[in-house]
Structures are given as structure tokens and as C-alpha cells.
Structure 1
Amino acid sequence: MLRLRPYKACDAQTIVSWIGDETMFRKWSADRFESYPITAEDLNRHYDRMADSDSFYEMTAFDETGVAGHLIMRFTDEKKTILRFGFVIVDDGKRGYGYGREMLQLAIRYAFDILKADRITLGVFENNEPAYRCYRAVGFRDKDTGETEYYHFGNEAWKCLELEMDRPE
């Protein structure tokens, strides 16, 4: 059974070990970190900068075998009604077994029931089909922003897709 808890600095080593190559790293983090490979210290330093914020939540999913997934949640508006998910990742040895879907369902419940968000948003690159399918499977829908945003990695231009979900009635 998967559960969700606040992130601990000791989770970092496990989380960064799931990032197999720079392409995967960029799909996970876009340009939020200066260099690849990322270390546990880099991840903790990044989160330490947000430690005093009451709008930023780092979460870890775990089961009886240990850390199984990770994501962050951050409010993007002053009224704290719109929450954005990011840095979503699951242990690569557990992919394809529903862990991502289950972790997202737990995070969605936390966002709506505990944090009282009215809407959840997230971004995913078009070339990250497994993540996109997972987000759609838990109820996110495509959001038309009216403009197309691209992220450049090497000689490629990755299209950014925006998704959202409103609080259930």
C-alpha cells in the first residue's frame, strides 16, 4: 500500500538515483537545476531555499519497501487556490505497476482535502508520453493556454503541455 508523507533530506539520494540520463533529468526538472548529474545535496539545497515558504510542499511516496516516488506541490497564487505539481518521479523499478497513478491520486486528495486547493495544474513535455497518459488517467485535462511553449534541449525543441484539474463538485 502506497502512502504519502513530507519529504525528508534522507530521501534525496534515493530520488536522484532514479534519474538515469540527462534526457530523463530534463524531462523531470526542465531547467530548474543548473547542471547534470544532480546530487542529493543539489536537491536538498534547492528545497532548503523554499524552507520558509508556506506555499511549497515536498512529498515522498513510500510503501513497505521504502521510498517509491516523489513530487512537489506549490501554490502559484496569493489566495492559495491554485496548486502546481512538479518534479513528479517514481522509482524506475516500479514503473508500469500503477505507482505513479496511485501517488498522484494520494497527492490530489491531499491537495483538495488538506490544502484546500480549488485547482491543480502541471506541465509535461509532449515527448513524455507515459507521464502524459498517467496524468490523464487520474483526471487531468489538457489546458489551452493560447500559446505554445517550447523547451530546448540539445538540437531538439520539446513542446510543453499544460494540464489542469478542478476541485470535484
Structure 2
Amino acid sequence: MLRLRPYKSCDSKHIADWIKNEETFVKWGGERFGSYPINAKIIDDKYRLNNGDCVEEDNFYPMTAFDDSGVVGHFIMRYINGNNKILRFGWVIVDDTQRGKGYGKQMLELGLKYAFEILGVEKVTIGVFENNIPAYKCYKSIGFNEIATD
């Protein structure tokens, strides 16, 4: 059974291990982290300050998906433009050795449940690159609707 929990510093090693090439890095949203290659320290530094608090307090929720075998996925949630009724999912990634098992879909469904039932948002958005067809199909399958952007 897949479960979600808040990100821990030790998760950064798993996330970095899943980003094996520049294409994955870019599709994941890595441009916000600098340039490829990426490592656990870069990810953790982006997520945490030296005292362990979230970088963007009360606006940034990194989440980790896990099952009995360990960590299998990760994504972040953040409010858009200070509006606590609209949440954006991003930096979605699943362990490349676990893809095709439905973990991405399950992880985001749990994220949506958390967003609506716990955080009380009214809308959740997500972005996807046009060339990331598997992610696009996953997002559509859980109810995201396409909105064209420039």
C-alpha cells in the first residue's frame, strides 16, 4: 500500500538517484536547481535551511511516497501567488525502477486527497512538458484537465 509523508533530508539521495540523465532532470523541473548533474545536497539545500525549517514556510510542502519496500516517489505542493485556495503540484518523480506499477497515479491521488481534505484548497494545478507523454497521461487519468498556456 502506498503512503505519503513529509519529505526528510534522507529522501534527497533517492530523488537524486532517480535523475540519471539530463532529459529526466529537465522534465522533472531541474532548471530550478541549476544545471545537470544534480546531487542529494543540492536537492536538500533547496528544500531546507540550516536549521531544518522549510525554505518557504507555510507555502512549500515536499512530499515523499513510500511502500513496504521503501521510498518510491516524490513531489512538492505549493500555494500559487499567496492564494491558499490554489495549490500547484510540481517536481513529480517516481523511482525509475518502479515505473509502470501505478505509483505515480497513486501518489498524486493521495496528494489530491491531502490538498482538498487537509489543506482545504479549491483548485490544484500541475504542469507538464509537451514531450512528457507518460506524465501527461498519468495526470489526465486522475482528473487534471488540459489548459493551454504560452
Give the shorter-chain TM-score range.
over 0.9
Q: How far apart, CA to CA, are the structure 2 residues paired with 1:29 and 1:52?
A: 18
Question: Which residue among 84, 108, 125 is the counterpart of 1:121?
Answer: 125
Read off the aligned partner of 1:48 and give its amino acid letter. Answer: R
Q: Give the CA deviation at 1:52.
A: 5.0
What letter is aligned with 2:88?
R
Which residue of 1 is the match for residue 39 of structure 2? 39
Higher strand share: 1
Structure 2 partner of 1:82: 86
Shift of 1:144: 3.2
Q: % of aligned pairs identical?
A: 53
Q: What is the number of residues matched between the two proteins?
A: 146
CA distance in 2: counterparts of 1:19 and 1:127, whole angstroms: 17
Gaps of 5+ in 1: 149-169
Aligned AA for 1:41? K
Give the TM-score taking structure 1 as reference length.
Answer: 0.83
Largest Rg, 1 or 2: 1
Residue of structure 2 equivalent to 1:106? 110
The secondary structure found in structure 1 opposite 2:25 is helix
Q: Deviations over 1:53-105 (max 9, x none)?
A: 10110000000000010000000133301100000000111111100000010
Poorly superposed stretches of 4+, deviation over 4 Å: none
Structure 1 residues 25, 52: CA separation in 2 closer, same or farther (over 3 Å shift)? closer
Which has the bigger relative contact order, CA under 8 A and spacing at least 6? 2
Q: CA RMSD in A?
A: 1.2
| Residue of 56, 63, 82 corresponding to 2:60 | 56
Mind listing any 5+ residue stretches in structure 2 that lack a counterpart?
Answer: none
The match for 1:136 among 137, 140, 144 is 140
Summarize the Cα distance change of 1:39–1:142 in structure 2 as closer, same or farther, 3 Å threshold: same
